[in-house]
Amino acid sequence: MRQEVDIHQLNDRSWQSALKAGKEQLGNLEVNLRFLEKTQCLKTNDRVLEVGCGIGTIVNSLSRQGYRAFGSDISQTAVEYGHRKYPGIDLDVESAEQLNRKDAEFDVVLSFDVLEHLFGVDKHLREVARVLKPDGCYLLQTPNKFVNSLFETCRSRSLKWRVYHPSLHTPRQLRRRLQAHNFSVRFVKMNPVTTFFLKKLHRLPLLVWLVKRIPFESLPLFMQTNLYVIARKAGAGSS
């Protein structure tokens, strides 16, 4: 429990620091939005919940497109900022491992850069399965353990990434974990190279030169920087 509290505090401090510096996004927003469009899973009038929504930029975008979108985040700082920036959107402070939502309330659940931060990944997946309708979709992104652990170790020259990424998964581990919670799994390859992505590599100019030339969507799954997944909950009557 102590570790869990520390992670919550770390998350809130991260948002406080980022917003003070004028940084409103901690994830690759451009690619995440492209992923949602590519999946074609969202339908008119769907109820959509984004877990780990930050300041609610995706929630706001979906609301403006006509979806009934809701967001939750463990950072009070991020949620309060989101309410000020996007008046009228529905954001709440809650843990990804304990959602204060009704059973089968949503057609789609989203999370971006959330899974890797959780100690209770199975608790989270049980909650996602609980709040999803039968045949509902969990659309998620999380860093690939094969790539991210190597990159973070080289960048920081240490293993301190384990503090904020305690639950990285390889593609195989993620597939098995989701299947254990009765989700079917399909991976979607995305090109991560955006201005946001390249800024993270600014201290490694050779790597910047290299990634601009990599055909990411043609690479095998284990070489993807991030794992983008369409996880569909088993329908009513499925065993």
Q: Which pLDDT value is given to residue 207?
A: 84
Question: What are the pLDDT digits (tens) for 75-86?
Answer: 999 999 999 999
Quick one: average pLDDT of 31-35?
97
Give the pLDDT band (50/70/90) at residue 206.
confident
Rounded to whole angstroms, the Cα distance separating 235 from 136 reads 8
pLDDT score recorded for residue 1: 39
* Mean pLDDT, residues 31-43: 97
- Tell me the residue length of the chain: 239
Give the pLDDT band of residue 43 (cuts 50, 70, 90). very high
46 within 8 A of 75, measured Cβ to Cβ: no
From 231, 232, 236, 233, select the one nearest 115 (Cα to Cα): 231
Instruction: Enter the tokens of residue 200.
Output: 């993270």
Q: What is the pLDDT of residue 238?
A: 58
Share of the chain above pLDDT 70, in %: 94
b/e string for 139-153 if b means 16 or more Cβ within 10 A? bbbbbbbbbbbebbe
The mean pLDDT of the chain is 92
- Which of these ranges, 4-13, 104-113, 122-131, 218-227, has the smallest mean pLDDT? 4-13
pLDDT(121) > 90:
yes
Domains defined for the chain, CATH in brackets: 2-233 (3.40.50.150)
Q: Where are the beta strands (DSSP E) in the chain?
A: 47-51, 68-73, 90-93, 106-112, 132-143, 183-188, 226-233
